[in-house]
């Protein structure tokens, strides 16, 4: 080929990014919805993924509705989950779980059935969010190291108790 001749630019296809995974957390103020979603987002970041998160807390200090959208993948375009777009549905309260049901993708994984198990398993109701995170972790591609690093960052107190409850959630979640 003559040096003056220019090579035609190659027409490479732009790779389609892997699917964005969407997790919806919901409950009422004081149940740890925001903390749980933050820990999930940190675990995704610890795993090298792009993450976007959005939350609505409204009257959360008075026991009002709280929801948090966590989305992760190689590319994430929006922090908001569209209707019927939640791949994983993680309610911490059954009533709120019914209220936000329109976000759940019927082909996704609904963790609502684990709420009763969580309530019967945890030593204190403040650990329900950690139990549910443990159950969720059995469906997500993050290592335990990524999760435990996120847990330790999210919970400065009762770290060992949170790890134990997280493991209990993993045991129950893996049986579903």
Query: Domain of 113: which CATH number?
Result: 3.40.920.10
Q: Is residue 3 part of a domain?
A: no
| Structural domain contains residue 139 | yes
- Strand extents, DSSP E, 16-64: 21-28, 50-56
3-state secondary structure of 107: strand
Q: What is the pLDDT of residue 60?
A: 54
What are the mean pLDDT values of the chain's consecutive 10-residue runs (176 residues total)?
Answer: 42 50 89 92 94 77 81 89 91 84 89 93 91 95 94 88 94 76
Q: Is 15 a member of any domain?
A: no
What size, in residues, is the chain?
176
Q: What is the pLDDT of residue 1?
A: 43
pLDDT at position 87, please? 94
Please tell me the total count of domains within the chain: 1
Bridge partners (DSSP) listed for residue 70: 23, 53
Q: Residue 70 domain-assigned?
A: yes
Q: Is residue 16 part of a domain?
A: no
pLDDT of residue 96: 81
Q: What pLDDT is stored for residue 4 in this prediction?
A: 47
Distance between CA atoms of residues 166 and 76, nearest Å: 27
Supply the range of the domain harboring residue 81.
Answer: 21-173
pLDDT for residue 18: 67
């Amino acid at each position: 080929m003559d040096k003056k001749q220019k090579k035609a630019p190659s027409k490479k296809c732009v790779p389609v990014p892997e699917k964005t995974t969407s997790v919806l957390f919901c409950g009422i103020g004081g149940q740890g919805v925001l903390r749980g979603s933050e820990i999930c987002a940190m675990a995704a970041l610890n795993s090298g993924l792009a993450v976007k998160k959005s939350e609505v807390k409204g009257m959360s200090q008075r026991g009002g509705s709280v929801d948090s959208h966590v989305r992760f993948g190689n590319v994430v375009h929006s922090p908001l989950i569209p209707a019927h777009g939640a791949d994983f549905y993680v309610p911490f309260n059954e009533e709120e779980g019914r209220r936000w049901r329109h976000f759940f993708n019927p082909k996704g994984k609904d963790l609502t059935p684990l709420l009763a198990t969580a309530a019967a398993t945890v030593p204190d109701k403040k650990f329900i969010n950690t139990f549910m995170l443990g159950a969720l972790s059995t469906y997500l591609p993050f290592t335990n190291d990524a999760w435990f690093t996120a847990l330790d960052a999210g919970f400065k107190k009762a770290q060992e108790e949170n790890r134990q409850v997280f493991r209990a959630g993993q045991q129950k979640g893996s049986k579903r």
